[in-house]
Amino acid sequence: MSILNAFVTPDLALIGVDTEARLPDGATYQVCKLVTVPHLGAAAGFRGLDVLQMFAASAIISFKGDFDALAETMPGLLTEAERFCRDQFGASGDALAFNVVLVGYSESAGCMVGHAFDRTADSEEIKIASGLPNFIAPDVEADQLRSLHIVADKPGMSILARHQCQLIRDHDPGMAAGGRFFIAEVRRNSIHVEQAFEFPPRPEKVG
């Protein structure tokens, strides 16, 4: 289910995503898993079914309201996106599990704020976490995280993402993780997105 990370401080939010996706036949391709909303100083990262992002992205970009109102709308929006995936594509079970992170400038809080919206395969409930200082998916065990000596900056996020990619490939070589890693720097009045690095290519199949 690829890589999605966020570090949030009062003045700056970093959100990072990989680009690799896989077709049912095992072919890999690259997709955008990041949506930016410059006039709100906001960005959303997605981890899960691509058509869920396709449905949700247009509503996020064209939202009429401030960042706080968008955050309040997200659970209902994602529920509708989930319904679309079921009705139009027959998605169910693991296919409907997702992580979505929304970061941006909150007028009410007067600072950058992060929200996470998570749905597991065995539950129809969308869990919401607000005011997050960080979000890491896939999760990394606490002792491994300490050993990486991560600092909440762009180099730290790159170190974390490389480690996550290796964890995913070791656990399930068929799972999407890799391609290129992009990091968005989100501030109240600016968003800067750039490629941080390319992940190692997958080993060639023998035979």
pLDDT per residue as tens digits for the range 173-202: 888 899 999 999 999 999 999 999 999 988
pLDDT tens digits, one per residue of 49-90: 888 888 899 999 999 999 999 999 999 999 998 888 888 878
Higher pLDDT pick, 92 / 60: 60
**205 falls within a domain:** no
Structural domain of residue 62, as residue ranges? 4-198
**97 falls within a domain:** yes
Question: What's the pLDDT at 207?
Answer: 46
Q: Residue written as tokens 């399930």?
A: 172
Question: What's the one-letter identity of residue 175?
Answer: M
pLDDT at 204 over 70: no
Q: Mean pLDDT of all residues in the chain?
A: 91
Q: Are 137 and 4 in contact (CB under 8 A)?
A: yes
Question: What's the pLDDT at 106?
Answer: 97
Q: Kindly give, in sequence order, each residue whose CB lies less than 8 Å from that of residue 106, ignoring residues fewer than 6 positions away.
A: 67, 68, 71, 112, 113
Question: What's the pLDDT at 113?
Answer: 98
Percent of the chain scoring above 90 in pLDDT: 73
Question: What's the one-letter identity of residue 166?
Answer: Q
**163 falls within a domain:** yes
pLDDT tens digits, one per residue of 134-175: 999 999 999 999 999 999 999 999 999 999 999 999 988 888
Total count of domains within the chain: 1
**62 falls within a domain:** yes
Higher pLDDT pick, 206 / 52: 52
What is the pLDDT confidence band of residue 20, given thresholds at 50, 70 and 90? very high
What is the pLDDT confidence band of residue 41, given thresholds at 50, 70 and 90? very high
pLDDT at 40 over 90: yes
Q: Which residues of 111-139 are buried (b: 16+ CB within 10 A; e: fewer)?
A: bbbbbbbbbeeeeeebeeeeebebbbbbe
Q: Within 10 Å of residue 149's Cβ, how many Cβ atoms?
A: 8
Q: CATH code at 156? A: 3.60.20.10
pLDDT at 95 over 80: no
**207 falls within a domain:** no
**139 falls within a domain:** yes
Mean pLDDT of 10-32: 90
**204 falls within a domain:** no
pLDDT at 29 over 50: yes
Q: Mind giving me the DSSP string for the chain?
A: ---EEEEE-SS-EEEEEE-EEE-TTS-EEE---EEEEGGGTEEEEEES-HHHHHHHHHHHHT--S-HHHHHHHHHHHHHHHHHHHHHHH---GGGG-EEEEEEEEETTTTEEEEEEEEE-TT----EEEES-SEEEES---HHHHHHHT--SSHHHHHHHHHHHHHHHHHH-TTS---SEEEEEEEETTEEEEEEEEEPPPPPPP--
Question: What's the pLDDT at 205?
Answer: 59
Gap between the Cα atoms of 195 and 187, Å rounded: 18
Mean pLDDT of 122-143: 92
**203 falls within a domain:** no
Question: What's the one-letter identity of residue 152?
Answer: A
Q: Are 177 and 164 in contact (CB under 8 A)?
A: yes
